[in-house]
Structure 1
């Protein structure tokens, strides 16, 4: 049982950043061929996936805030401004206004909307949680809020996946 728990945790962790190893087929196969508790295995896989997503979140947030990257971005902006000293054309101003308007509408920019977006993504998978992890790391979303939403959503999803063989009639006696 301990080996199965540790392996499920490891598969969940690796599958969080490597899409070539999804945890869902592993859970279905595990539940169809063993007599382990589906709820426990689903929660363990959810915790493993959430730990991996949290690692991605923190690494992305750290990379975005690296002073070296910030200096490089600032230098690129200065170079572009120096290369084109002409005043912005009407379409440039229109594009900037449209971008600012779209940013205000993005749910991830609003703290009270970020939690349900991550929760929805972690349960349903649309939009993909990996992309939402990168998006959340670029915003001011707190890490603990991301982690709570991710753990709840992933556990709900993976417990449902782990219960699928039993619902389909595959029982090991």
Structure 2
């Protein structure tokens, strides 16, 4: 497979995997590490594609945070549950809005997967984290994660 085709396939697969849970980017990274392909191109393109998809989730969280809050407020919740949910959401928003805690959380989610990157992406958008900071942390974490997964297959 040529480098351009491999990059395009990895980019598209990475973008799709940002939204569809059963489209597994990690499995693609392991497969891309097989002999006969360019591992570096596949890992970088897969990471860029997935970061682009997570930026869509980030922007969705940023633009839709007011609508989501109103929707939850309309639900018929007991006062106790609503208060607990509001306290938890405010803690998460404060945690992600600070650079010293928000960026490491995004980097950890992107490289290790805990907490889930999809949830962190949307929460970081509501918290007001900067686009470029989120994108850099997410891309760096994804490159590390996919490179670690592709490396054993590439060296075998």
| TM surpasses 0.5 | yes
* CA separation of 1:73 and 1:156: change in aligned 2, threshold 3 A: same
Cα distance in 2 between the residues matched to 1:62 and 1:48:
21
Cα distance in 2 between the residues matched to 1:125 and 1:38:
21
Deviations 1:21-68 (A, max 9, x none): 011112222332x42221221111101100000011112211124xxx
The question of 1:36 aligning with 2:24 is answered no
What is the total number of aligned residue pairs between the two structures?
147
TM-score normalised by the chain length of structure 2: 0.80
Q: Paired residue for 1:19?
A: 21
- Shift of residue 103, structure 1, vs aligned partner: 2.1
Secondary structure at 1:17's aligned position in 2?
Answer: coil
Q: Paired residue for 1:10?
A: 12
Cα distance in 1 between the residues matched to 2:132 and 2:146:
21
Alpha-carbon contact 1:114-1:136 (below 8 Å) kept: yes
Cα distance in 1 between the residues matched to 2:60 and 2:94:
22
Secondary structure at 1:12's aligned position in 2?
Answer: helix
Deviations 1:46-91 (A, max 9, x none): 01100000011112211124xxx38x939x68xx9xxxxxxx9xx8
The question of 1:161 aligning with 2:142 is answered no
Structure scoring higher RCO (CA < 8 A, sep ≥ 6) equals: 1
Cα distance in 2 between the residues matched to 1:104 and 1:60:
13
> Which structure 2 residues correspond to residues 38-53 of structure 1 after superposition, within 5 A?
38-53=39-54
The question of 1:73 aligning with 2:70 is answered yes
Does 41-50 or 104-113 show the bigger shift?
A: 104-113
Greater gyration radius:
1
Stretches of structure 2 that go unaligned for 5 or more consecutive residues are none
